Amino acid sequence: MTPTDEQKQVLTFAEVEAAGLADWRQLFEALRTRFATGGFNQGLELVTRIAALADEADHHPDVDLRYPHVNVTIFSHDVFGVTSRDVDLARAISAAAAELGIEADPTATGVVELALDTWDYQEIKPFWAAVLGMGDHPKHGEELRDLAGSQPTLWFQHTTEHDEPRQRFHLDVRVPADVADERIAAALAAGGVLVSDERAPRFTVLADAQGNKACVTTGLERD
């Protein structure tokens, strides 16, 4: 079912708030909530109901079944934002959860973004895309996004140029051992430098062109 132009219109934050979705919160481009199922089987029952509603609407959310809750994220992937399709599906999911006696706890949701200060994000963005295995954000050039949703967004915050500081944090990127060499090679080809491979394959220290470090790590040589 192809959405109409009206259904593809991205809603403003205020418009989403006005929709009165008490069970949901808009965080960045998506509606999110957590349903407190209390058990795995009841969570699976809710997920089954959500799947039926999604197929009926031809509009599919991201669903994460856990013990003892289910996390649900809804947004329109074609326009990368919240539309009326998402509002309608959110209402239907809330109704299904209520029928099952499952309460929503939207205040338990959250999104983590990583911010990296840089005076030229275009210089270092290819390195971080390579080392994290991520791609361009669909809307914002200064961000990298994992469209599969398993990694947080990395965005580049503008700052004035400065000498390399002592880094207060770095990213440890755990990958399967059989893809580590490929990931390291891609990061180096994207403008990165090798800082140390003394502890490889346990971990390899890399840096982008401005000295910001990241480690590609594996489970090898660990207890």
**DSSP secondary structure letters along 84-103:** HHHHHHHHHHHHHHHHTT-E
Closest CA to 89 of 111, 110, 73, 69: 73
Whole-number pLDDT of residue 35? 98
Whole-number pLDDT of residue 201? 93
Superfamily designation of domain 13-108: Transcriptional coactivator/pterin dehydratase (3.30.1360.20)
**How is 130-187 classified by DSSP, letter by letter?**
HHHT-EE-SS-TTEEE-TTSSS-EEEEEE----PPPPPS--EEEE--GGGHHHHHHHH
Whole-number pLDDT of residue 176? 83
Residue-level pLDDT, tens digit, the chain, 223 residues: 788 888 889 999 999 999 999 999 999 899 999 999 999 999 999 999 999 999 999 999 999 999 999 999 999 999 999 999 999 999 999 999 999 999 999 999 988 888 898 999 999 999 999 999 999 988 889 999 987 888 888 989 888 888 877 777 788 898 888 889 999 999 999 999 999 999 999 999 999 999 999 999 998 887 6
Cα distance between residue 136 and residue 147, in whole Å: 9
In this structure, what is the dihedral angle of CA atoms 128, 195, 173, 190, given to the nearest 10 degrees? 30
Closest CA to 133 of 170, 75, 74, 176: 176
> Per-residue b/e over 4-35, b at no fewer than 16 CB within 10 Å?
eeebeebbeeeebeebebebbbbeebbbbbbb
Q: Is the peptide bond before 68 cis (omega within 30 degrees of 0)?
A: yes
Whole-number pLDDT of residue 223? 64
Whole-number pLDDT of residue 207? 95
Whole-number pLDDT of residue 167? 72
Cα distance between residue 170 and residue 164, in whole Å: 14
**The architecture CATH gives domain 113-217:** Roll (3.10)
Cα distance between residue 173 and residue 215, in whole Å: 6
Structure tokens at 213: 């470090």
CB 180 within 8 A of CB 216: yes
Domain ranges of the chain: 13-108, 113-217
Same fold, 13-108 and 113-217: no
